[in-house]
Chain A
Amino acid sequence: GQQLNQSPQSMFIQEGEDVSMNCTSSSIFNTWLWYKQDPGEGPVLLIALYKAGELTSNGRLTAQFGITRKDSFLNISASIPSDVGIYFCAGQLSGANSKLTFGKGITLSVRP
């Protein structure tokens, strides 16, 4: 089946640093989504991307839909302690009953 690859499993950065996360797939997707999960809560949508090459920002977050439609990246600039959490990428095919394929997530730790 389809799989989304996110690595490494964990990242440790210093407060104020920028961090970039990648998500790659062996299959093409029509939509890429980035979610963040805080401890004890459900995933919350950060950014949705609908077009190859699209670059979208949400505050300090920027995400891009890869030209090949097989990858996406998320960049967090000037990290702060509340950026701590698990970041998931998800891909969706059109006509797939809205089913998402998720990566396994990257746990981000921010040192003050």
Chain B
Amino acid sequence: DAGITQSPRYKITETGRQVTLMCHQTWSHSYMFWYRQDLGHGLRLIYYSAAADITDKGEVPDGYVVSRSKTENFPLTLESATRSQTSVYFCASTPTGGGQPQHFGDGTRLSIL
């Protein structure tokens, strides 16, 4: 039972580069989410998706792009990375919109130099 997996676990890149963080879940959950976690801010929602081909902005979407062509995958792309995007990124999923808890991956630690 793989659950929800994120890759890579660690990534170092340079400002201006494009980088894609991957998220894959094996539960066939409808909803998927991307968060970033920074000291003093807790978890902040970047983007979410209610189903394949349906995505919407969260609290801090600027500088990020998402897609959801398949239910099980929800990649997050930083089109031109900036130092302020150095963070730990978490993907989460939940079966429905009816109050079910979200289940999180183990995160990707991204450093932008």
Contacts and interface: CB of A to CB of B under 8 A. Distances in A.
Interface in B81-107: 90, 92, 94, 96-107
Interface magnitude class on chain A = 20 to 34
Given A104-B40, A104-B41, A99 B99 contact: no
A98 B103 contact: no
A22 to B, nearest CB: 16
B96 A98 contact: yes
B65 interface: no
Give the size category of B's interface with A. Answer: 20 to 34
Interface string A40-65: 11111100101000000000000000
A94 interface: yes
Contacts of A104: 40-42
A46 to B, nearest CB: 10
A3 to B, nearest CB: 10
B97 A98 contact: yes
A1 B59 contact: yes
Given A45-B103, A98-B98, A102-B43, 15 more contacts: A1-B59, A33-B101, A40-B106, A42-B105, A42-B107, A88-B43, A95-B97, A96-B97, A97-B31, A97-B48, A98-B94, A98-B99, A98-B100, A104-B40, A105-B42
Interface of B: 31, 33, 40-43, 45, 48, 50, 56, 58-59, 90, 92, 94, 96-107
26 contacts: A31-B101, A33-B101, A40-B106, A40-B107, A41-B107, A42-B90, A42-B92, A42-B105, A42-B107, A43-B43, A43-B90, A48-B101, A50-B99, A94-B99, A96-B97, A97-B31, A97-B48, A97-B50, A98-B33, A98-B48, A98-B94, A99-B45, A100-B102, A102-B42, A102-B43, A104-B41
